[in-house]
Amino acid sequence: MIAPPPHSATAALPSSSDLVEDVLERWPSTIAVFLAHRMACPGCPMARFQTVAEVAGDYGLDTDALLADFARAIAAEG
């Protein structure tokens, strides 16, 4: 067994330093949150280079509020 990496692969919820592509892959229910905020991240070639905090800044959103939206979407998914 290989030790799991200490990032989004094992975390329960996305964090501000996670890469957007990792968040989209690990928690597909967040796609709806990105779209609701009219963010172009799902499918974007830059998603693998940018963190949640960076894209929140790009769209003028509060990072903690965005993370809270992610958490709600993930919880609703069950």
Partner 1 sequence: MTPLSPDPAVLRGLRLFSGLDAAALAEIVRSAQTRRIEKGTTIFSQGDRAALCHALIDGRVKIAQTGADGQQLVVRYIGGGEMFGTAAVFSGGIYPADALAMVDCVGVHWTAATMGELMERHPRIALNALDIVGRRLQEVQTRLRELSTERVERRVAHALLRLARQAGRRVGNGVEIDFPLSRQDIAEMTGTTLHTVSRILSGWEGQGIVEGGRQQVTIRQPHALVAIAEDLPRPGKPEEK
Interacting residue with partner 1 among 15, 29, 50, 63 (CB under 8 A): 50
For position 35 contacting partner 1 by CB under 8 A, the verdict is: no
Residue 11 Cβ, how far from partner 1 at the closest point, in Å? 20
CA dist 23 → 7, 39, 53 (Å): 10, 14, 12
Radius of gyration of the chain (CA): 12
For position 72 contacting partner 1 by CB under 8 A, the verdict is: no
Residue 32 CB partners (closer than 8 Å, separation 6+): 73
Residue 62 Cβ, how far from partner 1 at the closest point, in Å? 15
Interacting residue with partner 1 among 35, 48, 72, 77 (CB under 8 A): 48
Would you say 35 or 49 has its CB closer to partner 1?
A: 49
What is the Cα–Cα distance from 38 to 32, expressed in whole angstroms? 10
